[in-house]
Amino acid sequence: MATLMEDPVELPDSHYIIDRATIEQHLLNDKRDPMSRADLTIDQLIPRPDIREKIQAYRDEKVALKMSMK
């Protein structure tokens, strides 16, 4: 998608990590895991707070770097 994830979740059958908003949009049209093609519901998504924290740390680092260059 070329953007950083806001709320990463793991797909239970395929173990791929995807942004929650992206997979929720997909599930409006197709009720299957886009990778494994197994049936999938929103409540089956596995939150990944560890990855979310790493993304936030990366963002914070980039903001700090940008601020130090001013």
pTM, to two decimals: 0.84
Q: How far apart are the first and last CA of the chain?
A: 30
Q: Do residues 23 and 29 touch, judged by C-beta distance below 8 A? A: no
pLDDT(70) > 90: no
Domains and CATH numbers, the chain: 8-68 (3.30.40.10)
pLDDT in tens, 10-49: 999 989 999 999 999 999 999 999 999 999 999 999 999 9
